[in-house]
Amino acid sequence: MDFRLSEEELEFKQMAREFAEKRLYPRALEFDEEEITPPELIKECAELGYFGFTVPEEYGGLGLSSTAFMGVLEELCSACAGFGIMLSVHTSLTCEIIRLYGSEDLKQRYLPAMAAGEKIGAYCVTEPNAGTDLASLSATAVDKGDHYVVNGTKTFVTNAGYADVLIVFAKTDPDGGHGGISCFVIDKNTEGVVLGQPEKKCGLRASDTREISFSDVRVPKENLCGEVDKGFYIAVNILNSGRIGVSFQAVGIAQAAFDEALKYSKERVQFGQPIANFQAIQFKLADMATQVEAARLMAYRAVRMKDAGQPYHREASMAKLFATRMAGFVCNEAVQIHGGYGYIKEYPVERYFRDARAVGLYEGTSEAQQMVISRDLLKE
């Protein structure tokens, strides 16, 4: 398989790097400390077309490949991962669900505004008592003829504070287990949708994460996405694809931590010479660079398979498992190379270290990836 990027893919990656270096990186610590996703940068990203990257042109998007988008995501996450995951959830989860499973009416009504960045998406599946075990969710959607009435609480919703379009999973058949879940597109401003306070997170603090509760929320029948009772498969399929995005988030964070460590090792003098002269530091750098590269290749393999229309769920889970562990290892080593300074906010590796901790938790924990991979291996 050819892992080289096409000229067009490289061009988008380069443009994203310029945007990330100029607009995100210099203020990333401020966004982290103040826990904000700056609206003016959301607008700038929208002008670059990033909110509709993979949305077909007929619905106002750029209609580009997932591979091209992953290059962009890696660059944004290198500069400010909290900002990057906002775009990742909007594009890879919410726009993709409507594109792949929505009726023509849903696509016409939602995708153009979402592709333009005028409406932002959020993905609501996790509940206080249903995390890895998605099938045990307890939100309900009761059929009332021409509409459903949705009740329940969703936790850890990324983008909740500024999202307009919520993709919500709820039970339409309470006794149906995973076969009784359906997927809905719900406007956040609908009566009965109540937003919680922002969660105080360890990392990815530029992203907004909250609880959202639904109290007798009336959802028109036309806002059912995909078939009734088939929502579990939508959630699982979209998470397979989302996992590739998380792999690239991890690669972006780790690459940035490595770059900082490399630079610092040449500047920091101890025993009369730069610490980069010590073999212990050189070997750390060699291991870190090798791990980042291996994770990137695994992630590109998965996304190329996706774009080629091949089955890719095992490769996506392997890429996520490896890349997210790799990010933890690389960021930890980057702090180590910085010595005590790596533990101080003035040095970006402190933020990367915190951000990297999250990527093995969402869109399926590392253990969830191990379940997917081992189940697949044992089936053979």
Assign 246 to helix, strand or coil: helix
Judged by CB under 6 A, does residue 372 bind ligand FAD? no
Give 265's contacts (C-beta < 8 A, 6+ positions apart). 274, 275, 276, 281, 285, 337
**Which residues on adjacent β-strands are paired with residue 151?**
140
Q: Which of 186, 250, 256, 358 forms a contact with ligand FAD (CB under 6 A)? A: 358
Query: Is the CB of 264 or the CB of 353 nearer to ligand FAD?
Result: 353
Q: Find the residue with minimal CB distance to ligand FAD.
A: 131
* Residues 32, 83: Cα–Cα separation, whole Å: 10
Residues within window 178-207 making contact with ligand FAD, judged by CB under 6 A? 201, 204
Q: Which of 209, 240, 241, 317 forms a contact with ligand FAD (CB under 6 A)? A: 209
Per CB under 6 A, the segment of 108-116, 121-129, 226-234, 305-313 that binds ligand FAD is 121-129
Q: Binding residues for ligand FAD, how many (CB under 6 A)?
A: 19
Neighbours of 128 (CB within 10 A): 12
* Residues 106, 286: Cα–Cα separation, whole Å: 49
The answer to whether 186 touches 217, Cβ cutoff 8 Å, is yes
CB of 119 to ligand FAD, least distance (A): 16
Indicate if 350 belongs to the active site: no
Judged by CB under 6 A, does residue 19 bind ligand FAD? no
Q: What are phi and psi of 186, to 5 degrees?
A: -120, 130
* Residues 286, 147: Cα–Cα separation, whole Å: 58
Residues within window 222-261 making contact with ligand FAD, judged by CB under 6 A? none
Judged by CB under 6 A, does residue 125 bind ligand FAD? yes
Query: Which residue out of 9, 35, 75, 363 is catalytically annotated?
Result: 363
The answer to whether 215 touches 268, Cβ cutoff 8 Å, is no
Among all residues, which ones are annotated catalytic? Answer: 363
> Which residues are at the interface with ligand FAD (CB under 6 A)?
89, 123-126, 131-132, 156-158, 201, 204, 209, 358, 361-362, 365, 367-368
